[in-house]
Structure 1
Amino acid sequence: MFHLHKSTVGKALKDAVRNAKLCKRVTSHTFRHSYASHLLQAGYDIRTIQELLGHSDVRTTMIYTHTVKSRTLKETKSPLDF
C-alpha cells in the first residue's frame, strides 16, 4: 500500500495544471466540488451527497448546488405521482 503526502499530491496537481496550461485555479478541493456537482446532475438526493461528503450540516452541501443549472436538478416527486 502506498501512502501519499498532501504536499506530494499538491505539487503533482500544480505541475499537471501548469503543463495543461489551464487558466482556472485548480486544487485538490476542485475534485471534491466536481464530485458533488456530478452527483447533483445525476439526480442524487442532497442528503445522500451530504453523507458521502461527510458534511454535518446540509447547508454546507448546498454550496455545491450553485454550479448545477436548476433544470438539471430533479424535483422530488410525491409518492402519489407513481
Structure 2
Amino acid sequence: MSTSPFLRSLREHMLVRRYSLRTVKSYSYWIKSFILFHGKVHPTELGGTEVEVFLREGLHNLPLS
C-alpha cells in the first residue's frame, strides 16, 4: 500500500526524532483520518475550524476501541 508523499515525510520526520513506532502509527492514523474526513484536502490548507469540525463530527464515524 503506497502512502502519500506528505504522510511518508511525516513518518520519516517522527522516526528521525526517535518517536516510538507505536506513536508514529497512532499519529499517522489520526492524520490520515483527518485528511480523508476533509475530502483529501492538504492539511496546509486546513485550519483550526476544520480541526474542531473533525473532533466534533468526524470522530463519531470512526471505529474506536
Q: TM-score, normalised by structure 2?
A: 0.37
User: Which is richer in helix?
Assistant: 2
Structure label with greater radius of gyration: 1
Q: TM-score, normalised by structure 1?
A: 0.32
